[in-house]
Structure 1
Amino acid sequence: MSAPLVACVDIGSTWTKAALVGLPAGELLGTAQAATDQADVVRGVLAATAGFPEAPVMACSSAGGGLRLAVVGYEELISAEAGHRAALSAGARVVHVAAGRLSADALVRLEAAAPDVVLLVGGTDGGEASVLRHNAAVLASSARPVPVVLAGNAVVRDEVTDVLRAGGLPVTGADNVLPDIGRLAPESARTAIREVFLRHVIGGDRLSADPRLSAWVRTVTPDAVLSGVSVLAASRTTADAAGVVVVDVGGATTDVYCVPDPDAEQATLGREAVGIPAARRTVEGDLGVAASAGALRAAAGAEGVPPPGEDPLGLGVAAVTVALRRHLRAEAALGPGGAGARTAGLVVLSGGVFRHAPPAAVDAAVGRIAADSGGAGSVLAGATVAVDGSYVLAAAGLLAGDHPGAATGLLSGGRAFRPTTPTTRPR
């Protein structure tokens, strides 16, 4: 892309946010937003960029709640969990997990979850294959032809692919997410899930029939933000190189991103062996301040978090508190190497509820999160806490592939973030 300007757009479930960026330095020239048009998301993009000079559009999307993914695996604690992690690393929202041999009733429950794609896993390479064969046959009998990403036992991949395609299901093959016991390899499945999202969800007509949408959208929003968080972590100086945690509160989901300090995370454990990615996230599809507000209140009640009421900032506090608690539980499940969020040197709060609130109100909200004794407070302890005031992390992630210098420039020097008060908290 040779143009001196680019419009980076995040199509959210509630709002469509746009940033006009100058190339190659990554200068932020303007920001705007518009309500996402649920009937045709392209209208929201055009409205958000209406005040910008003519510029090419690069976009990410979580409209419609993002990519809805079901995981079908061999057994809950191995194949299904491996598939679940691969789905989250692809920015998908897991709406259903099934393990073992699918029955007719289990197929009905899966169909009721209305996934956009099914991730079918099971067995190590050369290991047990009967469950994978059985589940492929059951999926092929479904009256709802959902696209399938096949990431199970590689020895029977061609056979299983033929069964699925004979049932009219689009199939995208990937390497096994669990090629050997104890070795998680999610990257191939992650790439395949992203391809299916772009081809079947963005390239279809669920969000818009306008062909410009598929030309604009490069990835799902959580993927773009995670790339932006990785750029942010890499741009920090040696003196402040402790890890970065970002909590992005949206209308439908709240996502937690963590790029730990490698030293604090005991990198010598061997990340490939234990299946711990260098950058990771959790996507919470029931924690949002608009479309998911009812589910957020229920989740807060279940966690013993004070009721958030109707105030948007109160909902944001509850969303961050519950999301951080869940993220820490997910990290604990990774074993000794999964302690990155507790050693963060920078915690960034993102989302309109923080971006548009008065600084004093945000400071008070941060204090309430820091006081949480259920785990969320431990993430903020000792860290600088800031607000993504210009919403540039998704934009940086969109730029990172083609314009890495611009991505770094957009986030450098702390200009994009507004520190809260106090900026540090003792551990």
Structure 2
Amino acid sequence: MKAYLLIDFGSTYTKLTAVDIESEEILATAKDITTVESDIMTGFDKAYENLMKQLEEKNVEFVKKLACSSAAGGLKMVAIGLVPELTAEAAKRAALGAGARVLKVYSYELTSREIEEIKNSNLDIILLAGGTNGGNKECIIHNAKMLADGGVKLPIVVAGNKVAVDEIEKIFNTTDIYYRVTENVMPKLNTLNVEPAREEIRKIFMNKIIEAKGMKNAENFISGILMPTPAAVLKAARVLSEGSDKEEGIGDLVVVDIGGATTDIHSIADGEPSKPGVTLRGLEEPFAKRTVEGDLGMRYSALSLWEAAGTRKIQKYLQNKAINVEENCKYRSENIKMVPETEEEIRFDEAMAKVATDMAMERHVGVIESVYTPMGIIYSQVGKDLLSLKYLVGTGGVLVHSNNPAEILKAGSFDINNPTYLKPQAPGYLLDKTYIMSAMGLLAEEYPDMAVRIMKKYLIELS
């Protein structure tokens, strides 16, 4: 039996999925703690042993082994642009869509202090943007010179004003900086072009970053690490939504991925205004959009979730209002491998998950703003309108192990008490019960039709 082994070296768990490529079935899944501090293969070997026990009577031959990774902190980047709301924001969106954690966004001309900050930030890649094509070129050239003169040794993706590229290449060619030039992330005002930059980031991740993250041992076993894990999830979401050459997609959707450190939201929708008389304002939104909320996690950032949400917001979802919210969040942040066992612990985790879903969706979706003019009130939309979205897809441990996953996801839907946020009004709810989203993103690189069919088959519809 010919099969693919799809591997996700996650920040907490290494997850394995075996797929029969002839019958298009998931043969088995397994997971174990990711052991990046010692040897990444230690945790992998334990998960693999578990997987092979499940397959021992099936005579499986793995014809290909593909992996994605967010181990060792995942892909960490900074984005540099000109105007905060324009090219700097466009650069940030390109980096997020490539599966990165964006540690900081810099605008205008870099200072010596900022160069030192970049050098001390434990980064993997810098995305250098700035200026529309034919527009301001002095700023991006200044920033390239500052990076070169400051002794920055990180890979740099140049995705800014094309008029400045020749000068930037001259600057970087006098150093040993590894750089790649791609198309401008904002060729025209308010127009995004993020896919070329995303692809260059992915290539650097594959060719340069993996070895630096202690993944070299894994390369001897697998066929290749294709992309960061969040990029794999975004790929799966997009192909599930749009479909493939032979398979119909299921329509506009959002994936809510609640993790120990972050809550990631991936939306696949154009987000155009759904109500008459509403005008769009601000930067164009990417069709496939990802946002990462580093203060909304279940373990590593449990304390920052409490700080962001406040006690009353978490208590709203708790039956026992006497529970000490701060103490419980602090305990989870200090015991990141805690597994809830009592009914009270489970309910508290689910309350945290609802708050994370609610707040992460508020930050991801668009908002309606009313503007008073001499002609009366007009309404403008900033961001994506997801009111008529068809599906919310949930993934992540707290959802998978919950007895009420639909209730957690419903926290991310439209709230009549907060109507300016354009959250989905009546979506269907799907659950990634077997952790296959990242695996299907990997599979979709080679077999998109099969990936769509498997997701349709294995994602569970919630009532």
TM-score grouping bracket, smaller chain normalisation: 0.7 to 0.9
Counterpart position of 2:19: 21
Alignment of 1:153-172 (within 5 A): 153-172=161-180
Match of 1:347 among 386, 392, 400: 392
| 290-299 or 194-203, which deviates more | 290-299
Q: Decide which moves more: 185-194 or 339-348.
A: 339-348
CA distance in 2, matches of 1:99, 1:32: 44
The answer on 1:328 being equivalent to 2:372 is no
Structure 1, unaligned runs of 5 or more? none
Task: Please state whether the residue corresponding to 1:71 is helix, strand or coil.
Answer: strand
Kept in 1: contact 2:6–2:65 (CA 8 A): yes
Instruction: Tell me which residue corresponds to 2:405.
Output: 362
Residue 313 (structure 1) aligned to one of 340, 350, 354: 350
What is the aligned partner in structure 1 of residue 36 from structure 2? Answer: 38
Q: What is the rounded CA distance, in whole Å, between the counterparts of 2:368 and 2:400 in structure 1? A: 28
8 Å Cα contact 2:413/2:426 also seen in 1: no
The change in CA–CA distance for 1:382 and 1:274 in structure 2 (over 3 A counts) is same
Cα separation, 2, equivalents of 1:330 and 1:136: 36
Distance 2:187 2:167 in 1: 18
Aligned to 2:92, the other structure's residue is in SS state helix
Point out the structure with the larger helix share.
Answer: 1
1:244/1:347 contact within 8 Å kept: yes
User: How far apart are 1:407 and its partner, in Å?
Assistant: 0.4
Please give the secondary structure, in 2, of the residue aligned with 1:196.
Answer: helix
Partner of 2:437: 393
Taking the aligned partners of 2:195 and 2:188, their CA distance within structure 1 comes to 15
Distance 1:317 1:154 in 2: 44
Q: In the alignment, is the contact (CA less than 8 A) between 2:86 and 2:283 conserved in 1?
A: no
3-state SS in 2 of match to 1:63: coil
Distance 1:354 1:376, change over 3 A: farther
Q: CA deviation at 1:14?
A: 0.5
Q: 1:73 to 1:365 in 2, by over 3 A?
A: closer
Q: Give the partner amino acid of 2:17.
A: A
CA 1:72–1:370 in 2, change beyond 3 Å: closer, same or farther?
closer
Partner of 1:243: 252
Given the superposition, is the C-alpha separation of residues 385 and 224 from structure 1 closer, same or farther in structure 2, using an over 3 Å criterion? Answer: same
Contact 1:265 1:338 in 2 (8 A): no
Which string of whole-angstrom CA distances, capped at 9 and with x for unpartnered residues, describes residues 239-280 of structure 1?
9955211101122222111123788769xx9x9x97433322
Work out the CA distance in 2 between the residues paired with 1:347 and 1:172. 36
Q: 1:149 aligns with which of 144, 151, 157?
A: 157
Moved more, 140-149 or 388-397: 140-149
**Residue-pair matches, total:** 408
Q: Does 1:88 align with 2:96?
A: yes
1:130-279 matched pairs, under 5 angstroms: 130-212=138-220, 215-235=223-243, 242-260=251-269, 275-279=284-288
User: Can you list the C-alpha shifts for 1:214-250, whole angstroms capped at 9, x where unaligned?
Assistant: 84311111211112112222359x9995521110112
Aligned CA distance change for structure 1 residues 371 and 81 (closer, same or farther; 3 Å): closer
The percent of aligned pairs where both chains have the same amino acid is 31
Give the equivalent residue in structure 1 for 2:342.
none
Question: CA deviation digits over 1:361-397, x for unaligned, max 9?
Answer: 4355456555965579974541222321111111211
Please give the alpha-carbon distance, in whole angstroms, between the structure 1 residues aligned to 2:432 and 2:368: 24
Compared with structure 1, are the counterparts of its residues 401 and 37 closer, same or farther at alpha carbon in structure 2 (3 Å cutoff)?
same
Contact 1:349–1:387 (CA under 8 A) maintained in structure 2 = yes
Two-structure CA RMSD over aligned residues (Å) = 3.3
Contact 2:366 2:422 in 1 (8 A): no
Give, in whole Å, the separation in 2 of the partners of 1:377 and 1:351: 24
* Length-normalised TM-score, structure 1: 0.84
Change (3 A) 1:214 1:4: closer
Which stretch of structure 1 is more off in the superposition, 34-43 or 367-376?
A: 367-376
How many angstroms does 1:303 deviate by?
10
Per-residue displacement from partner, 1:280-306 (whole Å, max 9, x unpaired)?
A: 221223332222323333222399554
